[in-house]
Structure 1
Amino acid sequence: MTKSVVVIYSGGMDSFTVLHRAIADGFDVYALSFDYGQRHKKELDVAAKVCKSNGISHKIVDITAINSLVGGSALTDDIDVPEGHYQEQSMKSTVVPNRNMILLSLAIGYAVSVGAEAVYYGAHSGDHAIYPDCRPEFVEKMNDVSLIANYEAIRVHSPYLYQDKSDILADGLAMGLDYANTWTCYNGREQACGRCGACVERLEAFAAQGVSDPLSYAAT
């Protein structure tokens, strides 16, 4: 009998790769996306399309009510999205308070309910400097808690925790993935902006791999 995992799937290039890494690892996948009041729904639309076309079980859960408690981020509030590289101090404005703990808790509960053995999510080394809930110590502690929080022990697994976005892309390309089926930009326009931290890091990853990004950009 094939074992299963829950994958937190935003529709971005990291979680897109994690989704297919879990499948390549031999698991049946339950993809789980969250509408937490982010600036746009383009990622969620892309995620739904990918799952539908591949016959992957997928839920999009509305948790927008949490914004009355955890506001103050450029990703959820009327705050200008900063431009430039993730190492810049301004990128801290994109932190959504306690986001990954909240999303992981919900995903762990879902994993228990569907009989999955683990939750996969896309924390990676490129996010360590800016996002505390993507750092190894956070993932390790969440895993420790998840193993004892229910009668069923659920693992929390970040397959690219010690790798950067270029490494993630390399693994995805090796799996033959088409990154036209992703959306990374913090802005939900017709074209990716090419200027926000998410776009800059994505473009750097493609350049490092010596391949062209299939997405169209307004500015690069």
Structure 2
Amino acid sequence: MKDSVLILSGGMDSVTLLYDEHERIALAISFDYGSNHNGKEIPFAQLHCKRLGIPHVIIPLDFMGKYFKSSLLEGADAIPEGHYDDDNMKSTVVPFRNGIMLSIAVGVAESHSLAYVMMANHGGDHTIYPDCRPEFVEAFDAAAKAGTFVGVRLRSPYTNMTKADIARRGKELGIDYSETWSCYKGTEHHCGKCGTCVERREALAEAGIEDTTVYDD
């Protein structure tokens, strides 16, 4: 049954997928790419993997912080406030981030004779993140299959779900979302105003989950 590698950030979506598919996950990978919030997310990824007995590795991608342009890599003050539907949130896009991480995960999967790589993109990402959209998922799945001897496939079961749908699934699984991180600013507490904080608040409210997250606002 252990046939998959999961890309695990430590946020709500990937932690939900970790619990949802834990019987299939042979290895979880977190990527330290120099974002403002890596230091907040990754400890939660480690916590949940330890709890479930799933091996976890952290792979550094420090070159992204050096060569890529994104407010997500420029410090808390660079992160805009607002909803993902707002044009200013496009500054948080890290160019082809998922493509790079998935490529590494596919290589890891083939090295361990595993059939699948999983990621927890969802419908709310489609507005501004090109490498979360269904057409990207379909194209990358085909590339992974064609480019590996074992025919590694991409599984992204939340692609057409909303974040609230994911939160409802997490509620069914008994996940404590206070043990996840969303805020792009990466300060001591969630800011409550950036796109990920706004989306987090809305999803938890829509799913009927008490939000015990500490917000600065």
TM-score bracket relative to the smaller structure: over 0.9
Cα pair 1:123 1:134 within 8 Å, conserved: yes
The CA deviation at 1:9 is 0.2
The CA deviation at 1:55 is 1.6
SS of 1:75's equivalent in the other structure is: helix
Q: How many residues align?
A: 215
**Residues 1:11 and 2:10 are matched in the alignment:** yes
SS of 2:21's equivalent in the other structure is: helix
Cα pair 2:35 2:65 within 8 Å, conserved: no
TM-score normalized with structure 2 length: 0.95
SS of 1:162's equivalent in the other structure is: coil
Residue identity over aligned pairs, in percent, reads 45
Match of 2:28 among 19, 23, 31: 31
The CA deviation at 1:28 is 3.4
Cα RMSD, aligned residues only = 1.3
Q: After superposition, give the CA deviation of every residue in 1:169-206 in whole Å (9 maximum; x if it has no partner).
A: 11111111111210011122221110010000000001
Q: After superposition, give the CA deviation of every residue in 1:84-115 in whole Å (9 maximum; x if it has no partner).
A: 11000001000001101000000000111122
The CA deviation at 1:53 is 2.7
Match of 2:96 among 95, 98, 101: 98
Query: Unaligned 5+ residue runs, structure 2?
Result: none
In structure 2, distance between residues paired with 1:55 and 1:214? 26
Partner of 2:141: 143
Cα pair 2:9 2:31 within 8 Å, conserved: yes
Q: After superposition, give the CA deviation of every residue in 1:133-154 in whole Å (9 maximum; x if it has no partner).
A: 0000000000000001011111
Partner of 2:115: 117
Partner of 1:167: 165
In structure 1, distance between residues paired with 2:198 and 2:14? 17
Q: After superposition, give the CA deviation of every residue in 1:106-134 in whole Å (9 maximum; x if it has no partner).
A: 00001111221101101111010110000
Query: Cα gap change, 1:28/1:96 in structure 2, threshold over 3 Å: closer, same or farther?
Result: closer
